[in-house]
Amino acid sequence: MWATHRIERGAKDNNHLLYKPYSNAIIAKEPTSLEEEIKEIRRSGSNRDLDHASEFEMSDIFYFCRQGVESIMDDEVTKRFSAEELESWNLLTRSNYNFQHISLRLTVLWGLGVVIRYGFLLPLRVTLAFTGVGLLVVLTSIIGFLPNGRMKNFLSEQVHLMCYRICVRALTAIITYHDSENKPKNGGICVANHTSPIDVIILASDGCYAMVGQIHGGLMGVIQKSMVKACPHIWFERSEVKDRHLVAKRLSDHVEDKTKLPILIFPEGTCINNTSVMMFKKGSFEIGSTVYPVAIKYDPRFGDAFWNSSQFGMVNYLLRMMSSWAIVCSVWYLPPMTREEGEDAVQFANRVKAAIARQGGLVDLLWDGGLKRGKVKDTFKEEQQKLYSKMLVGTQEDRSRS
């Protein structure tokens, strides 16, 4: 906190403003319906009796204009795709930009940190990472020649755990696991919120999972091919990913075999910045298997685990991770959940998402993470249009009755 106090004092002396984009209460709102708000606007802008109002008034547009301005100013979606800004400085340039040179002592301290992180920690971590990945490829390829059976499964699990734990050391990850009695079991599906690609090794270093994903080329493709020889992971071709029925069929076949490892899935489909949980895709909740929710929460004071794929490539991101001080996180294994009678896949997904958000101290959002790269679907606009039309029709019917 000493560095933070120096920053705040220097910012005050130099008339700088510390930027805190995640401060709350930008706009104070009370939950009200569209009809109630429009009636209030009409009441304040007209002396006429609302019961005899026409179907449409020009003042109605102020409601939609205000909603649009509020959405721009207090956008709860876009800010989930940028790194979380810290109020306290952790000697990394990602937080409180341009404030590390306020004082000579602070500059020296920051420079010493750079030397330690890049001169000592980074080379050591890169060496550990190559060792872990190299052992994973070589040992899983060798195990792939063994006949299927208990011995092969046992060796595969031990190799996966060993290699993932070496990779965790490459990040200097300090992980606290809670409620281990709820760890996913064979024949189930493990779902977790998604902040970073390293979520996989964070979870896999404490237990083995069957991975699900698209087949890649290059080094990632070599790793995938070697892994699937030792363990029945589920890899899809690019053309198969869009076939929902094929994906569901392969997932169902996997969970029906109680000898196979639990499937690890991140239903958000994209990385969110460790502050929220966004909409879960319903596909993994249609299978009817037991779902094991897991909440992952990173401590941003020591290193930023969020991967902004729009700004950093995978190699650049991993170098930033390995040059941070440490990756500190907590993992909570929640009690297993199943679909209730009369509950559809979307409702089940939302119930699981709410449980994860509540346990991890995250904001539960209904928005689709696909908005990171796409536009808002027309259905959202049509929903507001239908609500307004319904209100007008109701007003017209009430007037005709009177």
pLDDT in tens, the chain (402 residues): 444 445 455 545 554 443 343 444 444 555 566 666 666 666 665 545 444 444 666 666 666 666 666 665 556 666 676 666 666 666 675 444 455 456 777 778 778 888 888 999 899 999 999 999 999 999 999 998 888 888 988 999 999 999 999 999 998 889 999 999 999 988 889 999 998 888 999 999 998 898 887 777 777 778 888 888 888 888 877 666 666 777 778 888 888 888 888 989 998 888 888 888 888 888 888 887 889 999 999 988 788 888 887 777 888 888 888 888 888 999 999 999 998 888 888 899 999 999 999 999 888 888 776 666 666 666 766 776 777 777 666 654 555 555
Whether 99 contacts 16, CB under 8 Å: yes
The residues near 224 (Cβ < 8 Å, ≥ 6 apart) are 213, 215, 216, 233, 235
On whether the CB atoms of residues 293 and 194 are closer than 8 A, the answer is: no
Nearest alpha-carbon partner for 320 in 309, 305, 299: 305
Strand 189-192 relative to strand 263-265, pairing:
parallel
Q: Determine the 3-state secondary structure of 189 from DSSP.
A: strand
